[in-house]
Structure 1
Amino acid sequence: MAGSSHGHTPAAWTGVIIAFIGFCIAGVFMVAAQPVGFWAGMAIVLLGGAVGGIMRMMGLGQPRHTHPVHQVTGDNEPVGAKG
């Protein structure tokens, strides 16, 4: 994906940073044998995904581009079906 700006958006950075912090918290509490702290860290990981998704919906993520292969041509028949 040379030349792509995939993931270089405020939504992506924020979501990943929050998820990374949650992952670190979960790891510390897992080593400390504290299940409540581990699950709190996992909840923060999920929160990171939710925050990133909300920010993307707010317009802070990468816009969706339709790939040329997936564009609709207006025909409702499969390619090669015309006889």
Structure 2
Amino acid sequence: MSSSGHGHTPAAWTGVIISFIGFCVAGAFIVLGNVPGFWAGIVLIGLGALAGGLMRAAGLGQEPKRTAKPRTQAKAQPQEG
């Protein structure tokens, strides 16, 4: 198990599951030669990404990491004389 918790959120699981279903639908319909069914699967893939993004925006995703250190104001002062 990853210590960073990468992807272990409701937003990530929902987006991946919907997109996976879309891949399965598109794959099945492309084998069957059904163009509208293929495009319906592609739309599902996009909806999975949209659902995951909206859920993340609603607070159900992973918190962004704050790795940047704050800049300090202390600079080397030129020495006089």
Class of the TM-score when normalised by the shorter of the 2 chains: 0.7 to 0.9
Give the SS at the match of 2:54.
Answer: helix
Alpha-carbon distance between aligned partners in 2 of 1:38 and 1:71, rounded to the nearest angstrom: 47
Runs of 4+ in 1 over 6 A off after TM superposition: none
Kindly indicate whether residue 59 of structure 2 is the aligned counterpart of residue 59 of structure 1. yes
Structure of greater Rg: 2
RMSD across aligned C-alpha pairs, in angstroms? 2.1
Tell me which of 61, 70, 73 is aligned to 2:71. 73
Give the SS at the match of 2:3.
Answer: coil
C-alpha deviation, 1:72, in angstroms:
3.8
Aligned residues: 76
Unaligned runs of 5+ in 2: none
CA deviation string 1:37-80 (max 9, x = no partner):
0011000000000000000000000001111xx334155xxxxx
Q: TM-score, normalised by structure 1?
A: 0.81
Share of identical aligned residues, percent? 51
Aligned to 2:25: 25
Alpha-carbon distance between aligned partners in 2 of 1:46 and 1:71, rounded to the nearest angstrom: 36
Unaligned runs of 5+ in 1: 76-81
Q: TM-score, normalised by structure 2?
A: 0.83
Alpha-carbon distance between aligned partners in 1 of 2:53 and 2:69, rounded to the nearest angstrom: 25
Alpha-carbon distance between aligned partners in 2 of 1:74 and 1:48, rounded to the nearest angstrom: 42
Residue 69 of structure 2 aligns with an amino acid whose one-letter code is: Q
